[in-house]
Amino acid sequence: MAVIIGEIFDLFARFGSRTYGEDLSLERHMIQSAAQAEALDAPTAVVAAALLHDIGYFLHADGGAWTGRDFEHEALGAAWLSQAFGEDVTAPIALHVRAKQYLCAVEPGYLDRLSDASRLSLAVQGGVMSQDEATEFAKNPAFEAALLLRRCDDRGKDLAKQTPRLEHFRELLIASLRPVR
């Protein structure tokens, strides 16, 4: 299972410099999101999820290029990561787009605080949840972790922010791997 750690680092090296509609690279965004989770003393699994939440962009044929259409990067990334990580890491990743849709539905002003790229992707990803959808989403066991990841995602878009290097998170990723049986 530790092989996936090398694969993750390789994906960051190959595709991390690409952008996805924001003014900073995917790598910087993902590291900032993880650093934000770390600063909030989030559980290790949520920090790992924050670091890996957009890895689906790396796995898609476009290699992280924003195409203006939804290819469900969150599901693609969570499915790929599930070969080595448990649901404590993969469920928040799979739900981080739904968390954005949820927060837009229930939190006044949230939609207005989204970056332009996040508002654009929201429209492509299905828009704001209905109240019934929001009520149902709140019942998901990974609901709280998904919201925490989403907030770290939203705050991980600062061009001036200094963050650790990707290598800083290697041991955390290794510790987050699902135990081998």
Within a domain: 181: no
Q: Does residue 55 lie within any of the structural domains?
A: yes
Cα–Cα distance between 91 and 81 in angstroms, integer?
10
In-domain check, residue 90:
yes
Q: Per the domain annotation, does 129 fall within a domain?
A: yes
Quick one: pLDDT at residue 20?
Answer: 75
Q: Does residue 169 lie within any of the structural domains?
A: yes
Note down pLDDT in tens along the chain; length 181 residues: 579 999 999 999 999 998 877 889 999 999 999 999 999 999 999 999 999 999 998 988 665 555 556 678 899 999 999 999 999 999 999 999 999 999 999 999 999 999 888 898 898 889 999 999 999 999 999 999 999 999 999 999 998 999 999 999 999 999 999 987 6
User: Does residue 125 sit within a domain?
Assistant: yes
Is residue 138 one of the residues assigned to a domain? yes
The count of structural domains within the chain is 1
Q: Of 167, 53, 164, whose CA–CA distance to 100 is shortest?
A: 53
CATH number for the domain including 125?
1.10.3210.10
**Is 161 among the domain residues?**
yes
Interior CA angle at 79 toward 51 and 105, to 5°?
70
Contact call for residues 172 and 47 (beta carbons, < 8 A) = yes
* Domain coverage including residue 107: 3-176
